Amino acid sequence: MSSWMNLWYVWLILLTVFLLLLCGITASCIKFCCRKKRPPVETFSRLPYDLTVTAIDSDSTAHSTVT
């Protein structure tokens, strides 16, 4: 039994794993409870946009001036 007490680092590792597990379970429970109480989030509705398309002919004066 005294050999287990001398292995303090084993107890430290076990305590760390236990605390991490406990924190994970607690965070999951809090996340689940908050999701249940909160109203569902509405997604952004698509806004209608006006789209204007201007055709440029290859024979236009702007194209002739640039080239």
Using pLDDT thresholds of 50, 70 and 90, give the confidence band for residue 53. Answer: confident
Using pLDDT thresholds of 50, 70 and 90, give the confidence band for residue 18. Answer: very high
Is residue 67 situated within a structural domain? no
Is residue 60 situated within a structural domain? no
Is residue 45 situated within a structural domain? no
- pLDDT (0 to 100) of residue 8: 83
Is residue 43 situated within a structural domain? no
Sequence letter at residue 36: K
Is residue 6 situated within a structural domain? yes
56 and 62 Cβ atoms separated by less than 8 Å: yes
Q: Given the structure tokens 């292995």, which residue do they identify?
A: 7
Is residue 19 situated within a structural domain? yes
- pLDDT (0 to 100) of residue 32: 87
Is residue 28 situated within a structural domain? yes
Average pLDDT, the chain: 76
Number of structural domains in the chain: 1
Is residue 48 situated within a structural domain? no
Range of the domain at 28: 1-37
